[in-house]
Amino acid sequence: MKLKELYDAAKAADEKVQVIMQDMVTAFDDGTEEGKLKAMELRPALDEAKDQAEAANLLYISARDADFEDPDAAARKFVPVSDDVKPKKQMTRAEFQSLTAADRMTFMLADGKLVD
């Protein structure tokens, strides 16, 4: 199973919890006894959905953290790195200063050189 599929399953499980919770709030906010009863009747479904969401999230986290050798592997499974894109080896100081701190670090770690 691919990591993206596990992530999507965890996200779907979380969304199901939110839908049931919203149904409970809507029923309770009705202000009637029937609404309160309906909200209470949804509690077992909410508890089950929460358990399923927790299990799905734990499975995703376990799979994501399984690759100890390459901590960036999970990110590449979501956004594959293209082989034809090569990082710049040189840039001006102005270009460098316009980068985010993370991009500056990536540039320097890739043996990038500043030219004026």
Q: Greater confidence, 47 or 101?
A: 47
Query: Is the Cβ–Cβ distance between 24 and 42 less than 8 Å?
Result: yes
Please give the share of the chain, as a percent, with pLDDT higher than 90: 39
The pLDDT value recorded for residue 71 is 55
Q: Greater confidence, 21 or 79?
A: 21
The pLDDT value recorded for residue 38 is 94
Helix (H, G, I), strand (E, B) or coil at 100: coil
Q: Greater confidence, 47 or 1?
A: 47
Q: Greater confidence, 47 or 95?
A: 47
Say yes or no to pLDDT of 81 above 70: no
Say yes or no to pLDDT of 53 above 90: yes
Say yes or no to pLDDT of 97 above 90: no
Half-sphere exposure of 79 (CA within 13 A, CB side): 2
Helix, strand and coil content of the chain, in percent to the nearest 5, comes to 65, 5, 30
What is this structure's pTM? 0.56
